[in-house]
Amino acid sequence: MKQSDLSDRVKATKTGNLTGSCLCGGVRYRIQGLVRDVVNCYCTQCQKTSGHHVAATRVKEKDLFVDAHETLHWYESTPGYKRGFCKQCGGNLFWSRLSDDQISVMAGTIDPPTGLKTVEYIYEEDASDYIEIPKGAG
């Protein structure tokens, strides 16, 4: 399945009051608003930037408050798409389509418990050969 089909299938239904950060703490954020369950993305770009695959939730950009951003850096991975990471510790935090009012937040950067579930798998066909995708996914 492609990212573009997702918004119809997986809706943001949980009301979150979550906090998160990168490993070094140079980037810290809060989410206050509706939070989508977690989608795993196995596209080549997510594998290359994360070192494995991306697991992300998605929120409205207005509901994401970045409290610390000294080390936040944005990389335009494809024209119109940007990925936010910490240039000190290398942590992947955000993925965003510039034309969207929503932003993906890497689920592993959220302070647990998140209250979220992994519900969907996309770009499984691009997954590297060592990756095991749970049966019945996608």
Using alpha carbons only, give the angle 50, 104, 100 rounded to the nearest 5 degrees: 130
Residue ranges in 82-121 that form contacts with Zn ion under rule CB under 5 A: 86, 88-89, 91
Q: Which two tokens stand for residue 108?
A: 């592993």
Q: How far apart are CA 17 and CA 15, in angstroms?
A: 7
Q: Smaller CB distance to Zn ion: residue 33 or 118?
A: 118
Q: Which is nearer to Zn ion, 6 or 89 (CB)?
A: 89
24 binds Zn ion (CB under 5 A): yes
Which span sits near Zn ion by CB under 5 A: 5-13, 35-43, 55-63, 103-111? Answer: 35-43
* Tokens coding 26: 């140079």
User: What are the Cα distances from residue 71, in Å, to 55, 58, 111, 124?
Assistant: 22, 22, 19, 32
Among 16, 18, 20, 26, interactor with Zn ion by CB under 5 A: 26
Q: Is residue 22 within the footprint of Zn ion (CB under 5 A)? A: yes
Q: Could you say which DSSP state residue 131 is in?
A: P
Residues that bind Zn ion (CB under 5 A): 22, 24, 26, 41, 43, 46, 86, 88-89, 91
